[in-house]
Amino acid sequence: MQKRTVNSLPSVNMLGFLILVCICVFVFFLFIRIPRPINFPPGPRPVPFFGNLLQLNINNPLKDFERLADRYGKVYSLYIGSRPTVVLTGFEVMKEALVNKAVEFAGRPQDLMVNHVTEGASRGRGVILSDYGPDWKEHRRFALMTLRNFGLGKQSMEERILGEITHIVDKLEKAVGSSIDPQTMFHNAASNIICIVLFGSRYDYDDEFLKTFIRIYTENAKITNGPWAMIYDSFPLLRYLPLPFKKAFANARKARQMSSNLIDEHKRTRVPGEPRNFIDCYLDELDKRGDDGSSFAEHRLKFNIVDLHFAGTDTTSNTLLTAFLYLMNHPDVQERCQREIDDVLEGKDHASFEDRHDMPYTQAEIHEVQRVANTVPLSVFHCTTKDTQLMGYNIPKGTLVIPNLTSVLNEEGQWKFPREFNPDNFLNDQGQFVKPEAFIPFSTGPRVCLGEGLARMELFLVMVTLLRRFQFVWPEDAGEPDYTPVYGVTLTPKPYRMHIRLREPVK
């Protein structure tokens, strides 16, 4: 009996030691405060090392952001690790920051995981992640001009989109009477449309090049705004370990290499002064500028390609997936759109983007899909370019800023039916289409999405063409629809199947 008592002493001592360590750690977290800037927005108290990470659902923090706004107000603070962050909530705050004080809030943070995935600030990046300044302005202006020259918003772009839609129609016609998973179909189509603009080429839906790019984009959209990204940004020492976020770096290297190969191919086949696509235009610009010391450089073209290809693929395809998920489960909305489409397009071979002016209900339905899809819920993170103020609070230069677009797209007081799918959100009492000022799925201010015009045209032409020819039905054996999206840089509907029927025009 005495022997067992003696032998138990070390274990008792170890237990006491562990309890003492736990108490010390607790006291450390309790009394060691992370200093806040003077008059900084209120927010939950951070703890050393973790910041507010332990108070958020890192798989999807959107509900937590809503809860924190209810408690601390429309402008509140969080800490990502030791980094102070300000979250913008609601349309009034968003407009004040991103429009009225556009320059002060137009920066991009340069030390998050997404920046490191794109090789860091020293190399210069594409138009989405570059910091605010003359280089970014120059590249954004060039990108907008080039997209317009290749038909953005014009007849030539419309023809390209309609041409790609024929491939969607072919696929759906083969599936009439059965059910399909539409995810890869819409990703392939959206990717091909932007490929035509950037590279001058479209790819078969089974082409390995297209499949690889889409896999990279869909994976990185989840990784770079998911739990591993939050851990990466909060704990710098973990960045060197072989953790799952390393896959995003490998994917990005692969995408850049594929882009470099495309540039090399264009350099061999182009005729200077006769551009066929975006790459040729940029190479012509390099020839024209020579060694003038400008920000134009071949490595930046590589980043621009990846930026524009990703932005033109993931957001549009996820919006289309959301559209048909809701249309199948709101057959009254689908039928009303089809009646309007039949009336307006009677005698026409195909839809035109101009037809939207004669389709107020269909326009309202498409915009309502964009609202509930909430495809880029937290926009792309901003940072302040100088010391500034917002709603009476001091925001120091370099502060990370998260525009919570979700809070605007379902904000009480901005919408008739903020928490439900209802096209009446975009119709007045006379049934005319109206677009509320709070409709900002593409963000707002100088950082508004470059491809807004292309996305609007794609969504209208794809949805009108498909609704005119097909009826989309929720499969009987599919159970109840789940509208809860998969969180990431973009929100993606959970996989679903849709049943395809050919339709006669609605009388």
Contacts of residue 11, Cβ cutoff 8 Å, sequence gap at least 6: none
DSSP string, 203-242: --TT-HHHHHHHHHHHHHHHHTTSHHHHHHHH-GGGGGS-
Q: How far is the C-alpha of 290 from the C-alpha of 287, rounded, in Å?
A: 5
Per mean pLDDT, which of 297-301, 318-322, 449-453 is the most reliable?
318-322
Q: How far is the C-alpha of 78 from the C-alpha of 381, rounded, in Å?
A: 14
User: 228, 241 in Cβ contact below 8 A?
Assistant: no
> Model confidence over 464-494: pLDDT tens digits?
999 999 999 999 999 999 999 999 888 999 9
Q: How far is the C-alpha of 319 from the C-alpha of 283, rounded, in Å?
A: 33
> Model confidence over 273-295: pLDDT tens digits?
999 899 999 999 999 887 777 78
Q: How far is the C-alpha of 288 from the C-alpha of 286, rounded, in Å?
A: 5
* For residue 4, pLDDT beyond 50: no
| Reported confidence tier of residue 178, pLDDT bands at 50, 70, 90 | very high
Q: In this predicted model, which residue has the larger pLDDT, 144 or 152?
A: 144
Choose the weakest-confidence range: 6-15, 121-130, 181-190, 218-227.
Answer: 6-15
| Reported confidence tier of residue 231, pLDDT bands at 50, 70, 90 | confident
Kindly state the average pLDDT of the residues 319-327.
Answer: 98
Total-model pTM: 0.90
| Reported confidence tier of residue 461, pLDDT bands at 50, 70, 90 | very high
Which residue is associated with the tokens 């500034």?
388
| Reported confidence tier of residue 240, pLDDT bands at 50, 70, 90 | confident
Kindly state the average pLDDT of the residues 309-320.
Answer: 91
Nearest Cα to Cα of residue 401 among 420, 417, 385, 425: 385
User: 113, 232 in Cβ contact below 8 A?
Assistant: yes
| Reported confidence tier of residue 369, pLDDT bands at 50, 70, 90 | very high
Neighbouring-strand partners of residue 363: none
Per mean pLDDT, which of 79-88, 120-129, 325-334 is the most reliable?
325-334
Q: pLDDT at position 506, please?
A: 45
The dihedral formed by the CA atoms of 317, 319, 324 and 329, expressed in degrees to the nearest 10: 150
Neighbouring-strand partners of residue 498: 180
User: 98, 404 in Cβ contact below 8 A?
Assistant: no
Q: In this predicted model, which residue has the larger pLDDT, 397 or 312?
A: 397
Domains of the chain: 51-502 (1.10.630.10)
Q: pLDDT at position 14, please?
A: 62
* For residue 175, pLDDT beyond 70: yes
